[in-house]
Chains A and B, each alone.
Chain A
Amino acid sequence: MSSLHNLGGMQGFGPVWTTEEGTAFHTEDERRVFGMMMGLMAAGWGDTDGFRDAVETLQPRIYARECFPMNYFLGLEKQLAERGLVLPGDLEAWMQGAKPEGRPAAPPVIVPTESEPPEPARFAVGDRVKVATIDRQGHNRLPGYLRGQVGTITADRGHVDFPDALATREGRRPHPVYTVEFLAREVWGNPAAGDDRISAEIFQAYIEGKAS
């Protein structure tokens, strides 16, 4: 079901703060957490969709604080605990000078290396398709505001590893992705949107079928 990260079309967050200076990092914590995220991914202890899943499933009151390095750190901490590297209590012990013992030397195989045959593409550019109406459980990349909407495929993006399966570590399942264009006035039921459009990348599993 939708969680707080699935933000498209929600209201109540106020105007966008537009005045920020363009620097990559603003605080030492932001630098440290970014470096750790990248370093853990390079070392095989982290992966993008598992990490996204960990952040998306933080308590909403923490996610909504929008302290980005905190959210990313808590996601990273959750992933490392799941993978047995840094268990709950380890950091407290380490802050007292005790290094945890008996931790795995190598990361678990997050994704089996042998690929399944890619899912065949069922749709083509120009097709009118209806996005699945029923919400998906667990980590997925379907924006909630597009559920049940009808759009037109404007590009075939080939195959991308299916994020739902990556997050649960079921494996690498190459899956067709399409760019689908929607009319904003239909999505939001707002005639004033005129010809404004929304384009999103939709995995084939999120498509119910061709629309008439």
Chain B
Amino acid sequence: MSADHDHDHDAHSHAAHSYAEWHTTPPPDIQLRIKAMESLLVEMGVIDPAMLDGIVDFYERQVGPRNGARIVARAWADPEFKQRLLADPAAAVAELGMPGISGDHVVMVENTPETHNMIVCTLCSCYPWQTMGLPPVWFKSAAYRSRAVSHPRDVLREFGVDLPPATSVKVWDSTADTRYMILPMRPAGTDGLSEDQLADLVTRDSMIGTGLPLEPAP
């Protein structure tokens, strides 16, 4: 396998490619092998193309950060739900009745004025798929995985989050089966908002801990 050519380019030199495309576009010879492997496995009867389409569709259209946002919005709107969510995420998530979405192995971590939490997987790319879908490309990157644990405040600044010095940072490295999801603090000025309007303020990054929820429109 000659996977070693064509990748000593710097990501920034690929003007036509976004960062995400650069990290998700294999060299042409590998692309050919990927197609060949898929067709061979189908020919051998090992995998079923309809099943693969179903899996891809599930992660593309049904699971994603909007599910996580609904969970957070419900927790903001309903203090009793929030207590259940913190105590038993799987049971609380099941109450929302999102098809195929489970809170198994998910632990909710609540941000407070005293402690800001963020998640990382320094060893690979563990992420709460169950409630948030697949991770963004940067979450899998060496740049994030190396420094999220050693220089979290610098990383947060790169995301535009400048924490007050009095707020301590706690970084959760997902190294076994538990998957963490952050419950961000409800923004001020959102008292009159519906649960749907609240969900619109919950960004993916705010549930990773590298962002804060959006402010409500004035």
Contact = CB atoms under 8 A, between A and B. Distances in A.
A196 B178 contact: no
B56 A14 contact: no
B76 interface: no
A45 B46 contact: yes
B30 to A, nearest CB: 5
Contacts of A179: 178
Given A36-B52, A160-B177, A13 B26 contact: no
Nearest to B37: A91
A212 interface: no
A210 interface: no
B171 interface: yes
A203 to B, nearest CB: 7
Interface stretch (B86-94, B151-159, B186-194): B151-159
Interface stretch (A22-30, A113-121, A122-130): A22-30
Contacts of A91: 33, 36-37, 40
A143 interface: yes
Contacts of A62: 3-4
A94 B123 contact: no
Interface in B13-72: 18-27, 30-41, 43-44, 46-48, 51-53, 55-56, 59-60, 64-65
A191 interface: no
A39 to B, nearest CB: 4
B113 to A, nearest CB: 14
A65 B7 contact: yes
Contacts of B168: 194-197
Contact of A29 (B31, B60, B149, B210): B31
A26 B56 CA distance: 12
Interface residues of A, number: 85
B44 A103 contact: yes
Contacts of A17: 11, 19, 137-138, 141, 143
A169 interface: no
A35 B201 CA distance: 31
B100 to A, nearest CB: 14
Contact of B26 (A34, A73, A85, A141): A73
B170 A69 contact: no
A55 B136 CA distance: 19
A197 B170 contact: yes
A199 to B, nearest CB: 5
Contact of A85 (B19, B33, B46, B133): B46
Contacts of B51: 39, 42
A8 B145 contact: yes
Given A13-B147, A35-B47, 7 more contacts: A8-B149, A24-B133, A43-B47, A61-B4, A91-B37, A160-B177, A201-B173
Interface of B: 1, 3-4, 7, 11, 18-27, 30-41, 43-44, 46-48, 51-53, 55-56, 59-60, 64-65, 120, 122-124, 133-134, 136-138, 140-150, 152-153, 155, 158-160, 165, 168-178, 204-205, 210
17 contacts: A7-B146, A8-B123, A10-B146, A11-B147, A13-B142, A13-B143, A22-B64, A29-B34, A33-B34, A36-B47, A38-B52, A39-B48, A69-B26, A73-B37, A177-B177, A196-B153, A200-B175
